[in-house]
Amino acid sequence: MKTGRREFLKLGVAAAATGLLPRPARGQGAASRVVVVGGGFAGASCARALRQADPRIAVTLVEANATFTACPFSNEVIAGLRELSAQQFTYERVAADGISIVPSAATAVDVAGRSVALAGGARLAYDRLVLAPGIDIRWGALPGYDEAAAAQMPHAWRAGEQTVLLRRQLEAMADGGVVVISAPANPFRCPPGPYERASLIAHYLKAKKPRSKLLLLDAKDAFSKQKLFQAAWADLYPGLIEWVPLSKGGNVTAVDAATRTFVTDFGRHQAAVANVIPPQKAGRIAELAGVADKTGWCPIDPITFESRLQPAVHVIGDSAIAGAMPKSAFAANAQAKTCAAAVARLLAGGAPSTPKLINTCYSLVAPDYGISIAGVYAPAGGQLAEVPGAGGVSPADAPRSTRAAEAALAQAWFRTITGEVFG
């Protein structure tokens, strides 16, 4: 049977009346509204990619800070190799794409009513919401570690004042002091980050305070790029870094900020400079929106990044449970662009296509010694899984020229990603 236009319209009206049709895409008179919460690598990328995917979408970016401070390369700031200002970016170019920047904090999400409440009481209505709040510290998860303790034993895991505080403490430390870093169990932001930090602090100590030592207490028995890091430590910093894995008593069970002491099942370690990389969870708005599960992170659909727990709310970046993808700036940017394409398609009434995503993470063991890990990911079994046969780390037997090339590529990557997202 051939269905004429009139019959088709009648069918449509009947279906709409009985609620069978999905929420229609908004017509040209009323643009679709997407609110993005969080202006980091994930959120700012997504806002811009949405405008690029479909300029008819009205995009609002909610970000309380006027300046973004990037975490990648902040370990160089701690080691005195770079200034914090090199990590800082503003939103002028993002706004110039026609994105409305709201300098406020999101305080609640009305999922049924599809609106976001802002500090001060205003509300933003949305058709689709993208949450990119990054991480929050899980205060209270490590006995003795609260916000006051972080002023004595900085985490420096959200870049900014904490980064500078840790650097100042290292600069003030007498030669011969013991620096202690504690690394958490998985998952956490930037899996190779604690080991890059240990490396670059060792680089600083070797040059400036050569009688000092670095103790790395780990809640794990294995870590990202482990063989490459350990080989480089033996080569560049012999005897300087001691890594204590979980099975050798590395798990920190409590800290005492007044005496800068780490307590483990095997003993106590007093530090001259103490860096606690604490347990983490998705940024607070994820919890308030009801998109975080009991792990503290946000389960998502691997095609659209839509929350498994709430409709029309997408979660990208460090706060999402992205399967095999690590919590990295590269991954956040890749997820943001994938999510933006899916959201644009959904708003236009279409079906999103199955994506493939890439991650690449560089770590510096020294300013001229870089190593990397890469991966390719695709949806499989309801999660983002690694594509077999692809990815992996830098070769173990590479010459120093390759390490120097990767260090230069790491610098280039930072300029590119920050230029793409904020420039």
Q: Measured from the CB atom, is 264 or 418 closer to another protein?
A: 418
The answer to whether the beta carbons of residues 364 and 410 sit under 8 Å apart is yes
Query: Per rule CB under 8 A, is residue 227 in the interface with another protein?
Result: no
Is 356 among the residues that bind another protein (CB under 8 A)? yes
Q: Does 412 bind another protein (CB under 8 A)?
A: yes
Query: What would the two tokens of residue 72 be?
Result: 């990648």
C-beta separation of 127 from 114 below 8 A: yes
CA distance 332 to 222: 24
CB of 130 to another protein, least distance (A): 15
208 contributes a contact to another protein by CB under 8 A: no
Q: What is the dihedral of CA 392, 193, 401, 205, to 10 degrees?
A: -150
CA torsion sign for 363, 154, 143, 212 is positive
Label the pairing between strands 178-183 and 67-69: unpaired
x/- letters, 92..111, toward another protein (CB under 8 A): --------------------
Query: In angstroms, what is the minimal distance from the CB of 390 to another protein?
Result: 3
Q: Both tokens of residue 333?
A: 């940017």
The reply on whether position 53 binds another protein by CB under 8 A is yes
358 makes contact with another protein (CB under 8 A):
yes
- Considering the rule CB under 8 A, would residue 81 count as an interface residue with another protein? no
CA distance 105 to 317: 18
From CA 143, how far away is CA 254, in angstroms rounded? 5
Residues numbered 368 to 397 that lie near another protein (CB under 8 A) are 372, 374-376, 378, 387, 389-392, 394
| Residue 299 CB, nearest approach to another protein (Å) | 22
Single-letter amino acid code for the residue at 378: A
In which residue are the tokens 């932001």 written?
189
Using the minimum distance from each CB to another protein, give the nearer residue, 206 or 345: 345
Binds another protein by CB under 8 A, chosen from 126, 204, 223, 413: 413
Under the binding rule (CB under 8 A), the answer on residue 125 touching another protein is no
**Residues 16-45 as x/- pattern, contact with another protein by CB under 8 A:** ------------x-----------------
Backbone dihedral angles phi then psi of residue 70, each to the nearest 5 degrees: -80, 140
Q: How many helices (H) and strands (E) does the chain have?
A: 10, 25
Binding site for another protein (CB under 8 A): 28, 49, 52-54, 56, 330, 333-334, 337-338, 341, 344-345, 348, 353-360, 372, 374-376, 378, 387, 389-392, 394, 402, 405-406, 408-409, 412-413, 415-417, 419-420, 423
